[in-house]
Chain A
Amino acid sequence: MIKQNIDELEEKGIYVIREAKTKFKNVAALWSMGKDSTTMLALARKAFLGKVPFPVIHIDNGIDFPETYQFREELAKKWKLDLIVAESEIKPEMSGFSCCGENKTVALKKVMAKYGFDALIVSIRRDEHGIRAKERYVSPRDHNFKWNYKDQPAELWNDYSSKLDEKGHVRVHPLLDFNEIDVWNYIKREKVPMNPLYYSRNGYRYRSLGCTHCTTAVKSNAKSIDDIIKELEVTKVEERAGRDQDKEKSYIMSRLRALGYM
């Protein structure tokens, strides 16, 4: 895994977050309590003198891990987050596509409409998945949340588009160039509090976190951040090996993201 200069990544992430806060009227961030979105919040705190200056949204269908809920409550209190919990119902069909689509994207649409957010900070990274590699730092979505990944604005010389479709919004991706190992190096350097599920217990740990029914632990003896970094330096297992949605039909992530999923 390629390690990058985390000072440069941090600088760019902070720049993107500050630009988003300045250019758009009503910004919010999505927080899944995973390593990436928690790192994004740490960047936002650094960008705005210790305070996250926008609401953070958790799309909650009630079947996240108990540790994840615990972590949400502890960190929201510690960092004084303006937390919006968007509760989603569980529909009869629960396969990856309809579950993440129907259950989560619909709840996100509702909360966006309710609060009128025009920019949403999302902590995806290009190295996670092929379709995420196609993303831009600032990525427009139309009024139906649809993403036209075949027609995206160029982002030359750090010049990002802030043009909005009427009633649409933009997704802002400050962590786009981070690799998994960069995230862990940043967590280590900045002492970012982390969900305990990432650390090994009984020979297993979660490497990528989702809901309880679609996430499985991977074999690992990494009990600390240093262990995780060492493991990532040599592993040949892909990060999202424990995520069901990636194993479904091919292009499922492309379809989900095109329809508005994170």
Chain B
Amino acid sequence: MAGIKDIMGALNKEQSKANWEKFGKAVKSSGLKYYHIEFDKSKVNELEDLRKAHADLYDSKEKLVYKIPIIMENGKKIRGATIYLKGLLNLNK
């Protein structure tokens, strides 16, 4: 997972569309299998709550491997980025 480690580092610094697209392409070959989205609070009331949220990414043995944010900032436009987690499975924990 050497490649994806660099992508993760970039993504944690900057949630740009370009970084998310790199992540989306790398997911299949990354060895990651599950995700679980964690919110800082039990209820998301504002964008800041979503900024503080992250996805825990697990491998096939359900071992936590990475944490990444779940939003994408494209200039002033802010959207969710969960589409780039496509291919991973919800852990429903």
A89 and B90 contact, CB distance less than 8 A: no
Contact mask A90-103 → B, CB, 8 Å, 1/0? 11111100000000
Contact mask A65-83 → B, CB, 8 Å, 1/0? 1110110010000000000
Q: Nearest residue in B to A214 (C-beta to C-beta)?
A: B44
A217 contacts partner chain B, Cβ-Cβ < 8 Å: yes
| Bound form: Cα–Cα A61–B82 in Å | 10
Q: A62 is contacted by which of B45, B46, B83, B92 (Cβ under 8 Å)?
A: B83
Q: A197 is contacted by which of B71, B87, B90, B93 (Cβ under 8 Å)?
A: B90
Q: Which residues of chain A are within 8 angstroms of B53 by Cβ–Cβ distance?
A: 213
Interface of A is mostly: loop
Interface footprint category on B? 20 to 34
| Bound form: Cα–Cα A95–B41 in Å | 13
Interface of B is mostly: mixed
Q: Nearest residue in A to B81 (C-beta to C-beta)?
A: A62
Q: Which residues of chain B are within 8 angstroms of A197 by Cβ–Cβ distance?
A: 90
Q: Which residues of chain A are within 8 angstroms of B89 by Cβ–Cβ distance?
A: 67, 201
Q: B46 is contacted by which of A94, A201, A205 (Cβ under 8 Å)?
A: A94
Q: Which residues of chain B are within 8 angstroms of A204 by Cβ–Cβ distance?
A: 92-93
B78 and A66 contact, CB distance less than 8 A: no
A202 contacts partner chain B, Cβ-Cβ < 8 Å: yes
Q: Nearest residue in B to A91 (C-beta to C-beta)?
A: B47
B61 contacts partner chain A, Cβ-Cβ < 8 Å: no
13 cross-chain CB contacts under 8 A: A62-B72, A63-B70, A64-B80, A69-B82, A69-B83, A70-B86, A73-B86, A90-B79, A94-B47, A94-B49, A204-B93, A213-B37, A213-B39
